[in-house]
C-alpha cells in the first residue's frame, strides 16, 4: 500500500531545488515499523525512498519527508542493547569529563538521549544532566534508570523555553541525531541557542565519505533525512553561529565523525589537526563536485544482484538461511532487494522489544538468538554489518554445525 507523503523538492539546508539523484530505493515501509502480526491481507504502508544530492551545497537527503512524529513517537531502538555502543558511550564520557573539566557545577544536555545509555555515566560521576528524547516509551525507560529525561522534539522553540527556565549546556551532545532532523536549520539554531557562551557541542554522525566509499546504501532510510560530509556540516553550523574546532574519525556505524564546536562569539579554541585531515580527504574525493555522486546507484544494484544470487543458490542447494539483527539498515536492504520470509527463515535479535514481531515489508519473524542453536541454519546473514565483529564473536558456536556468517554490504562476503 502506497501512502500519501509530503514531497521535499527543495534542499532542507540551502533551499535550492533538488535535481540530482543519488540513490533511488523504490517504495519501502518505515525501517523501524516492526509488525505485531504478519496478516497477509494487510499491506504495509510504503513510502518512496529516494536520496538526492543538492547541486549547490552538496547535502545528500531523502526526497520524501515522512512526518517525524510518525517515526519517533514510539521507537523500537534501545541503545543499551548494543554492548559495543554502551562501551563507546562510556569512553566518550570519560574523555569529555577530562578534556572539558566537567564537574558538579556543570550542565550536560543530550539531544536524542535514548534510554540514558550515555548520560548514566555522567550521573554516576555526580554531573547534572538532562536528556531530551522524542520517543516517550524510550524516555520513560531512561527515567526509570535514574536519568532525568524529558519526552520532546528538540528545536529552537524548546531551546528557548529551556533557556528561559535557566538551562544552558556546558556540554551539549547528540549522537546519531543530526541525520534524523527534518528541519535542519531549526535544529541547529536550537543547539546554538542552548549552548552556554563557552560551552562545547559535540555531534556524532555517519560520515558520507564512508557511505559512498563502502556503498552503505542500507543506511538510507526514511528516518535518516540527511547524510553529512564535514564540508556540509561546517557550512550548516557556521550559518547558525557555531564554529568547528576539532573532529575525530570513528569506526562506529561503518565510519562516523565526531565533531567539536563552540559558539563563534564565545571562547576561541585551538583548531585540532583532525579538521585539516578530513577536509583534505573530502577534497581528494571531490565531495564538492556534483559529478562525484554519480554512479552510486549502479553499485547499489550490484549489491542487490549479489544477495539475490546467493539466496537463490542456497535454496537450490537445499541450504537454510537465517539472519541476525533486526536492524533498520537490514530492512532497507531486504525491501530494496525484494527478500521475504520464503528466502530467510527468521531473524534473531537480542532485543526483547523486537522478539515476537515481524520485519516490515519482508514479514520475516523476529526471534530470540537461541533459535540459532535450535535450528542450526547453514548461513546467517548479518544485517547490522557494522556490528559483525561483536555478533560473530558472541555466536561463534554456529561453526559447530558448519554454519557460516555472511554480509551483503559492500559486497557479498562469507566470514
Domains of the chain: 79-286 (3.40.50.150), 297-414 (3.40.50.720)
Per the listing, cell 557562551 goes with 197
Measured distance CA(295)–CA(21) in Å, rounded: 10
User: Around Cβ 112, how many Cβ atoms within 10 Å?
Assistant: 23
Among the listed residues 304, 285, 227, the one whose alpha carbon sits nearest the alpha carbon of residue 52: 227
**Length of the chain (residues):** 415
Residues 6+ apart with CB under 8 A from 216: 206, 210, 254, 329, 409, 410
**Cα–Cα nearest to 200, from 80, 90, 92:** 92
Q: Which residues of 14-26 are buried (b: 16+ CB within 10 A; e: fewer)?
A: beeebeeebbebe
Q: d(Cα 332, Cα 242) in Å, to the nearest integer?
A: 34
- Provide Rg for the chain, Cα atoms: 21
171 with 100: CB under 8 angstroms? yes
Please report where in the chains the cell 563507546 appears, as a residue.
Answer: 88
- DSSP-H helix ranges across 73-213: 83-99, 119-124, 136-144, 156-164, 184-194, 208-213
State the pLDDT at residue 181.
92
Task: Output the pLDDT for position 4.
Answer: 45
The CB-side HSE value for 227 (13 A sphere, CA atoms) comes to 28
pLDDT of 78: 57
Helix (H, G, I), strand (E, B) or coil at 77: coil
Residue 76 backbone phi and psi in degrees, to 5: -95, -5
In whole angstroms, what separates CA 45 from the centre of its chain? Answer: 22
Mean pLDDT, the chain, whole residue set: 92
Could you read off the pLDDT of 227-286 as tens digits, one per residue?
Answer: 999 999 999 999 999 999 999 999 888 899 999 999 998 778 999 999 999 999 999 999
Shortest CA distance to 386 belongs to which of 176, 203, 225, 223?
176
Extract the residue ranges of the chain whose pLDDT is less than 70.
Answer: 1-8, 64-82
408, 69, 415: which is closest to 218 by C-alpha? 408
Tell me the pTM.
0.89
CA angle 102, 105, 111 (to 5 degrees): 65
Maximum Cα interatomic distance, the chain, rounded to a whole number of Å = 66
pLDDT at 1: 45
Q: What are phi and psi of 238, to 5 degrees?
A: -60, -40
Residue 345 CA, chain-centre distance (Å), reads 26
Could you tell me if 330 and 218 are in contact, meaning their C-beta atoms sit under 8 angstroms apart?
yes
pLDDT of residue 43: 82
> Are β-strands 321-324 and 256-263 bridged in parallel, bridged antiparallel, or unpaired?
unpaired
Place of cell 542493547: 81
Amino acid at each position: 500500500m502506497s501512502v500519501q507523503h509530503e514531497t521535499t523538492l527543495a534542499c532542507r539546508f540551502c533551499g535550492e531545488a533538488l535535481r540530482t539523484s543519488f540513490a533511488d530505493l523504490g517504495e519501502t515501509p518505515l525501517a523501524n515499523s516492526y509488525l505485531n502480526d504478519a496478516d497477509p491481507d494487510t499491506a504495509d504502508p510504503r513510502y518512496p525512498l529516494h536520496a538526492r544530492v543538492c547541486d549547490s551545497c552538496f547535502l545528500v537527503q531523502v526526497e520524501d519527508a515522512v512526518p517525524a512524529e510518525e517515526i519517533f513517537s514510539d521507537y523500537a531502538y534501545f541503545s543499551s542493547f548494543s554492548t559495543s555502543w554502551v562501551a563507546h558511550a562510556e569512553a566518550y564520557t570519560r574523555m569529555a569529563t577530562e578534556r572539558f573539566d566537567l564537574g558538579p557545577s556543570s550542565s550536560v544536555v543530550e539531544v536524542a538521549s535514548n534510554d540514558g545509555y550515555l548520560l548514566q555515566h555522567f550521573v554516576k560521576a555526580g554531573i547534572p544532566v538532562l536528556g531530551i528524547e522524542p520517543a516517550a516509551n524510550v524516555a520513560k525507560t531512561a527515567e526509570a534508570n535514574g536519568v532525568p529525561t524529558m519526552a520532546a522534539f528538540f528545536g529552537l522553540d524548546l531551546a528557548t523555553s529551556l533557556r528561559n527556565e535557566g538551562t544552558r549546556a556546558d556540554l551539549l551532545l547528540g549522537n546519531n541525531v543530526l541525520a534524523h532532523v527534518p528541519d535542519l536549520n531549526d535544529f541547529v539554531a536550537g543547539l546554538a541557542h542552548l549552548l552556554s557562551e563557552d560551552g562545547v557541542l559535540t555531534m556524532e554522525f555517519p560520515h558520507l565519505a564512508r557511505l559512498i566509499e563502502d556503498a552503505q546504501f542500507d543506511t538510507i532510510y526514511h528516518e535518516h533525512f540527511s547524510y553529512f560530509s564535514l564540508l556540509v556540516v561546517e557550512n550548516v553550523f557556521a550559518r547558525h553561529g557555531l564554529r568547528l574546532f576539532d573532529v575525530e574519525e570513528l569506526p562506529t556505524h561503518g565510519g562516523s565523525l565526531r565533531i567539536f564546536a563552540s559558539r563563534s562569539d564565545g571562547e576561541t579554541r585551538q583548531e585540532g589537526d583532525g579538521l585539516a585531515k578530513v577536509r583534505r580527504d573530502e577534497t581528494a574525493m571531490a565531495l564538492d563536485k556534483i559529478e562525484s555522486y554519480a554512479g552510486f546507484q549502479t553499485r547499489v544494484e550490484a549489491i542487490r544482484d549479489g544477495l539475490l544470487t546467493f539466496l537463490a543458490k542456497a535454496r537450490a542447494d537445499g541450504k537454510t538461511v537465517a539472519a541476525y539483527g533486526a536492524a533498520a539498515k537490514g530492512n532497507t536492504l531486504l525491501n530494496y532487494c525484494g527478500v521475504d520470509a520464503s528466502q530467510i527463515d527468521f531473524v534473531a535479535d537480542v532485543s526483547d522489544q523486537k522478539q515476537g514481531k515481524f520485519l516490515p515489508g519482508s514479514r520475516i519473524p523476529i526471534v530470540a538468538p537461541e533459535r540459532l542453536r535450535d535450528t542450526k541454519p547453514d548461513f546467517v546473514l548479518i544485517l547490522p554489518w557494522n556490528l559483525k565483529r561483536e555478533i560473530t564473536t558472541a555466536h561463534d558456536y554456529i561453526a559447530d554445525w558448519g554454519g557460516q556468517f555472511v554480509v551483503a554490504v559492500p559486497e557479498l562476503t562469507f566470514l
